[in-house]
Structure 1
Amino acid sequence: MSANEPLRAGLPWRTYATPDADAAPTRFADVSWDGKRHDIEYVFIAPQRTQQPLLVFLHEGLGSVAMWKDFPRTLCEAVGCRGLVLSRWGYGRSSPRPGHEKWPVDFMHRQARHFLPAFFEAIGHDTRADPPWLYGHSDGGSIALMYAAAFPDRVGGLIVAAPHLFVESITLASIEQARDGYVTTDLRSKLARYHADPDSAFWGWNDVWLNPEFKRWNIKALLPDIRCPVLAVQGYDDEYGTMAQIDGIAEEVPHAELLKLEDCGHSPHRDQPAKLIEACVAFIRRHHR
């Protein structure tokens, strides 16, 4: 059973109306992971393009299927490929994180090495026969890098936008500001448009990044195991990280290509979509076999 099939027989699923009227119905996979079972929401884009690569979108620390809005579909149309968008556990309309449960400091390692393989198995996608390409944003970019390092024969290529390799002071300062905004402004109500349980999404992300032990988090040593093509993207005005992040990728993965964008903050797909899509299309077409 391959990922271009809309649903594996026997999997429980349900649909709901997403904010994007043109979006495909959202499905829910029953994923057994970390000793528990979780409903994980996901959406396929153009599954009929069976001869084209599958581009999997991994969202940021406060992201979800809905928060991407139309970017995944726009990029997939530009490339002419299939797409798969999911909300990780605790985000969007996936199973929420219990209020008493904290993300562990190695949560992104676990997401890359255990959750993603379990998710692909749950939806019936054979990553050996059909290695996906990964587009990861922020935390999702870090997870994409670690997945490619752990499973070098199960990924076709990587596009990582504003990924984190290590913790910078600018990152922590912005996360502290976000914490203050969540408590004192309407940020919670805004996030509620994209998450069934905004507290699950926000505090899971915020608490772990501000955990003093997280300051030592660093994934640079894992990167030399990456063999697939890599495009790393960063904005000069990113409030959550500096160019040291993607320059670090180039140091450890010599074949990586870098895209540095002017007038661009932490979300290149929102701040510079045209330049980003142009670069992604050229990158995928150049490296897809």
Structure 2
Amino acid sequence: MVLKKTKGGLGKGLGSFGLTGTFKDGHKGGYEVDITKIQPNPNQPRKRFTEDDMTTLVESITKHGLIAPIAVRKVEDHYEIVAGERRWRACQLAGLSKIPVVVRDYTTEEVSEIALVENLQRQNLDPMEEAFGYQYLMDTFKKTQEEIAAIVGRSRSYIANMVRLTQLPECIQEDLIEGELTVGQARPLLALKSEELQRGALAIIKEKELNARQIEQLVKTLQAGKKKLASTQPKATAELRKLMQRLKHSLGAPVDIRLKNTKKIQGTIEVTFKNEEELMRLISYIEGE
């Protein structure tokens, strides 16, 4: 197996783990394993894999097979993926029964670091996956923000700001996941002390399509108590949050229920979709087809 050296990289980079480069001789550096014997890393920071994201890769694997093996480690009676979960999933969609692998001897901590670096290098993570990935390293392996910064090639302040996103209400986190809100738009909301203010500010942001600078000014105004949240819906009760979770589970998509400030129960239900396929699926579901 001959590896090509790569210039630059992200933090330590995958090269420090021996995982960069291409395999000149196909998968002769490893061997084939029954695809059912391979399991994903349960602490993989990337939580969402869609078929749309992998269409081109599936077509390539169907035509040419998997050229570069995935990296795995032996865990009891199966193999756990170290790097290459997206390729493994694409191989499943392509109908492969066996997949080329190279076996590495890594600790659980190293596997977590590799998974985070690999996804960041390929820009596969949404902001919340990235934030919770850093939080996992801090909570589980007692990594400091300085150590994580060195691993991923970021500044300590960047890591600190990303981790703080985990303190935001679920509705704002969902908007970050779906790309409805940028990190620059969401970060100023952390300065607001209550979820009620944060949710109210979010409603105004969406209603007026505010940019990051405008949101910073909105937050300052709210902190000074100079603005009433006319657009703020009543604070979500535990019952309402459970109802939103039920709808999210049934529809397979994020749901937000917004109530009006009236004596009668009135409001709107917002369902988020990210492509035409999801829209048509939701329409079919609603129509009962």
TM-score (norm 2): 0.23
Q: From the two aligned structures, give the one with the greater strand fraction.
A: 1
Larger radius of gyration: 2
TM-score (norm 1): 0.23
Q: From the two aligned structures, give the one with the greater helix fraction.
A: 2
